């Protein structure tokens, strides 16, 4: 009996492989890299302080806000040079993982 009877060819980097692909694999969302100009909450928590204002220029590594999560205060830093376009939360807001916090120009 052929174990790869209903198989398909899958390309990974430099090689081709014969395998069976399930429905979950076929319907998965394609990978989309994160937009460095959008700051997301990486963990559920509470916004303790916002260190910037809309329109303010920031450089890579500048502190943007403090997120309290699991009894730890996390300083969120800018990944890019730019200008703050919009702050989507306010001090004291409770946010879930993946919430948009700041948009940059």
Does 58 map to a domain? yes
Residue 55's domain is classified under what CATH number? Answer: 2.40.50.100
Does 94 map to a domain? yes
Give 9-57 as a DSSP string.
Answer: EEEETTEEEEE---HHHHTPPPP----TTEEE-SS-EEEEEE---TT-E
Lookup result for tokens 């993982």: 97
Model confidence over 23-74: pLDDT tens digits?
888 898 888 888 999 999 999 999 999 999 999 999 999 999 999 999 999 9
Domain count, the chain: 1
Does 54 map to a domain? yes
Model confidence over 72-92: pLDDT tens digits?
999 999 999 999 999 999 999
Q: Which of 97, 39, 98, 44 is nearest to 68 (CA)?
A: 44
3-state helix, strand, coil in the chain (%, to 5): 5, 45, 50
Does 31 map to a domain? no
Does 1 map to a domain? no
Does 25 map to a domain? no
């Amino acid at each position: 009996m052929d174990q790869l009877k209903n198989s398909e060819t899958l390309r990974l980097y430099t090689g081709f492989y014969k395998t069976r692909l399930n429905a979950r694999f076929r319907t998965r969302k394609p990978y989309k890299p994160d937009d460095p100009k959008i700051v997301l909450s990486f963990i559920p928590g509470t916004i303790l302080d916002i260190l910037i204002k809309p329109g303010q220029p920031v450089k890579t590594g500048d502190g943007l806000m403090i997120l309290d999560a699991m009894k730890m205060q996390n300083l969120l830093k800018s990944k890019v040079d730019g200008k703050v376009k919009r702050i989507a939360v306010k001090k004291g807001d409770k946010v879930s993982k993946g919430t948009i916090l700041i948009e940059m120009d």
